[in-house]
């Protein structure tokens, strides 16, 4: 399986944008880039996914590099409720979901 590399932790101030990076230099052409987050004492929840083009939804934006070897999850205005572990996952369609270590995001008031 292609692997992802994320910083162990990041900090942000409340109401400021947050850019969470993910490197996936061994990504293959059929790998989708998924982002999940895990709030304290909860199961992971879906955030966003993409293949080649940048994606936006109500939770976040996903910026994918042109060579697809890296991506960035963008939270436009961090809130205290966004404090979580964020996982960047590569997944081939119809295959299972495998998690890396993730990035622990701390949001300061």
Partner 1 sequence: SAVISQKPSRDICQRGTSLTIQCQVDSQVTMMFWYRQQPGQSLTLIATANQGSEATYESGFVIDKFPISRPNLTFSTLTVSNMSPEDSSIYLCSVEGDRGPYGYTFGSGTRLTVV
Burial (0-12, 13-18, 19+ Cβ within 10 Å), 100: middle
Q: If binding is defined by CB under 8 A, does position 103 make contact with partner 1?
A: no
Among 13, 30, 45, 79, binds partner 1 (CB under 8 A): 45
Tokens representing residue 47 in the block: 């955030």
Span of 16-24, 60-68, 69-77, 88-96 interacting with partner 1 by CB under 8 A: 88-96
Residues 6+ apart with CB under 8 A from 45: 36, 37, 38, 39
Residues 6+ apart with CB under 8 A from 43: none
67-86 positions binding partner 1, by CB under 8 A: 85
Q: Is the CB of 11 or the CB of 45 nearer to partner 1?
A: 45
Which residues in the 2-31 window bind partner 1 by CB under 8 A? none
The minimum distance between CB 44 and partner 1, in angstroms, equals 5
Q: Which is nearer to partner 1, 96 or 109 (CB)?
A: 96
Instruction: Determine, following the binding rule CB under 8 A, whether residue 94 of this chain makes contact with partner 1.
Output: yes
User: How far is Cα 96 from Cα 99, in angstroms, rounded to an integer?
Assistant: 10
């Amino acid at each position: 399986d292609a692997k992802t590399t994320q910083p162990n932790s990041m900090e942000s101030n409340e109401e400021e944008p947050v850019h969470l990076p993910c490197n996936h230099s061994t990504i293959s052409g059929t790998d989708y880039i998924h982002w999940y987050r895990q709030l304290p004492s909860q199961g992971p929840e879906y955030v966003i996914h993409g293949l080649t083009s940048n994606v936006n939804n109500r939770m976040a934006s996903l910026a994918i590099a042109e060579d697809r070897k890296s991506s960035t999850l963008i939270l436009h205005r961090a809130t205290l409720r966004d404090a979580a572990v964020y996982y960047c996952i590569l997944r081939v369609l119809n295959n299972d979901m495998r998690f890396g270590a993730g990035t622990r995001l701390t949001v300061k008031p």
